[in-house]
């Protein structure tokens, strides 16, 4: 036996396994730590979701959500208590401030990724949840901040769930299931429940989305008949119960008045950008100065009527009709005093 060669092989094998940064042992330890971190974040997310719904998280609900045995859930709760991320009480499991901070950061990442996957990657809405779950655990504050800015700081994900701000604030919108809504009263979709997946797939197939206004035309034990003014939908009550709605905002402005309604020389105030406009296109309109409260005047149409020049913050910008259609305006406000130059900056 060639002992020097044999010794070299043994040393090479030991190095491959035990090399501090690149060996198999180090790789296995990183993978194990990553799995533990993901399990921790998923557990904290579950507790946050229960609290958001006004429910109490329990060992049983945690075990079901993370596909653990009850004994595994008990061990996990013990670990998270020792880390100061949750506390167990008689009425259930509760997040500590540190645990809530981590949970909200994961939720923010998840919902921003969902927004990106729908608006920019053009992924079908029914498929984005699982992909966003995969991406939510690999994040940095800087990368998420850049993604948020590039998307135009969206307020909600494609399901209508509020996206936490960078400071961790989450806006709550009161809503109720469409099955509880009165007949022929306008209802604005504010949330689409994405579980169970089979029911959500039916909602997505109908093309229903947050921000859409519906009326319930007929309610029967077998189906609800809805209309958005252009199309009629027939949904089973089990499906319609996963669509949550709220009243149209009572702000005194026509909900569908768009920038395209302005005639040459007319002036109005920007009220908002359409909820359906997201991603980099939304960011571009915001960068052009089309932010809430800013005066805008229709100036000159092009030779063929499209695009149209609008004056915003003292600058002429050209918008195609499909872009201007995404800008909601208040009633023409030619008599309203214009903001001072310093206020417009």
pLDDT at 126: 84
Residue with tokens 């005047």: 297
What are the phi and psi torsion angles at 344 (to 5°)? -85, -15
pLDDT at 52: 93
CA distance 96 to 23: 37
Among 251, 261, 275, 7, residue whose Cα is nearest residue 118: 275
Number of neighbours of residue 98 by Cβ within 10 angstroms: 13
Name 259's Cβ contacts closer than 8 Å, sequence gap at least 6.
268, 270, 296, 298, 310, 319, 324, 325, 327, 328, 329
Q: 169: buried, middle or exposed (CB in 10 Å: 19+, 13-18, 0-12)? A: exposed
Q: Which residues pair with 310 in a beta bridge?
A: 298, 317
Name 291's Cβ contacts closer than 8 Å, sequence gap at least 6.
270
Number of neighbours of residue 161 by Cβ within 10 angstroms: 21
* Angle separating helix axes 59-66 and 24-52, nearest 10 degrees: 130
Contact 264, 301 (CB under 8 A): yes
- The residue count of the chain comes to 345
Most confident of 85-99, 121-135, 304-318: 85-99
Domains and CATH numbers, the chain: 24-95 (1.10.10.10), 176-247 (2.30.30.90), 259-344 (2.30.30.90)
CA distance 125 to 132: 11
Task: Tell me the pLDDT tens digit for each residue of 247-299.
Answer: 976 654 445 678 988 888 899 999 888 776 777 778 888 889 998 889 999 99
Does residue 1 carry a pLDDT above 60?
A: no
Q: Which of 19-28, 190-199, 331-340 has the lowest mean pLDDT?
A: 331-340
Instruction: For the chain, give the percent of residues with pLDDT over 90.
Output: 48
Contact 147, 158 (CB under 8 A): no
pTM: 0.69
Please state the separation of Cα 280 from the chain's center in Å: 15
Contact 144, 110 (CB under 8 A): no
Task: Tell me the pLDDT tens digit for each residue of 48-105.
Answer: 999 998 999 999 999 999 999 999 999 999 999 999 999 999 999 999 999 999 999 9
Residue with tokens 């396994």: 17
Question: Which ranges of 151-212 does DSSP label H, i.e. alpha helix?
Answer: 197-205
pLDDT band at 345 (very low <50, low <70, confident <90, very high): very low
């Amino acid at each position: 036996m060639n002992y020097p060669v044999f010794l070299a092989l043994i040393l090479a094998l030991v190095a491959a396994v035990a090399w501090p940064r690149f060996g198999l042992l180090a790789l296995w330890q990183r993978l194990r730590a990553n799995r533990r971190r993901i399990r921790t974040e998923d557990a904290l997310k579950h507790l946050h979701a229960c609290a958001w719904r006004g429910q109490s998280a329990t060992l049983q609900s945690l075990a079901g959500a993370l596909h653990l045995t009850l004994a595994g859930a008990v061990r996990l709760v013990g670990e998270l208590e020792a880390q100061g991320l949750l506390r167990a009480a008689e009425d259930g499991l509760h997040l500590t401030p540190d645990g809530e901070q981590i949970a909200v950061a994961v939720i923010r990442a998840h919902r921003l990724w969902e927004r990106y996957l729908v608006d920019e990657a053009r992924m079908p809405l029914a498929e984005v949840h699982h992909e966003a779950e995969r991406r939510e655990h690999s994040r940095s504050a800087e990368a998420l901040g850049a993604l948020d800015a590039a998307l135009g700081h969206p307020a909600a994900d494609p399901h209508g769930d509020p996206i936490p701000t960078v400071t961790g604030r989450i806006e709550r919108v009161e809503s109720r299931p469409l099955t509880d809504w009165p007949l022929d009263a306008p209802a604005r979709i504010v949330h689409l429940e994405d579980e169970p997946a089979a029911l959500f797939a039916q909602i997505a197939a109908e093309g229903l989305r947050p921000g859409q206004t519906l009326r319930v035309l007929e309610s029967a034990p077998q189906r609800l008949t809805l209309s958005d003014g252009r199309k009629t939908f027939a949904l089973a009550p089990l499906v319609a119960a996963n669509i949550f709605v709220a009243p149209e905002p009572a702000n005194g402005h026509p909900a569908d008045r768009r920038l395209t309604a302005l005639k040459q020389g007319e002036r109005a105030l920007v009220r908002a950008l359409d909820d359906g406009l997201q991603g980099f296109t939304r960011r571009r309109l915001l960068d052009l100065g089309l932010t809430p409260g800013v005066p805008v005047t229709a100036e000159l149409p092009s030779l063929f009527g499209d695009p149209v020049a609008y004056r915003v913050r003292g600058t002429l910008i050209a918008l195609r009709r499909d872009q201007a259609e995404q800008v909601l305006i208040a009633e023409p406000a030619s008599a309203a005093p214009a903001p001072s130059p310093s206020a417009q900056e």
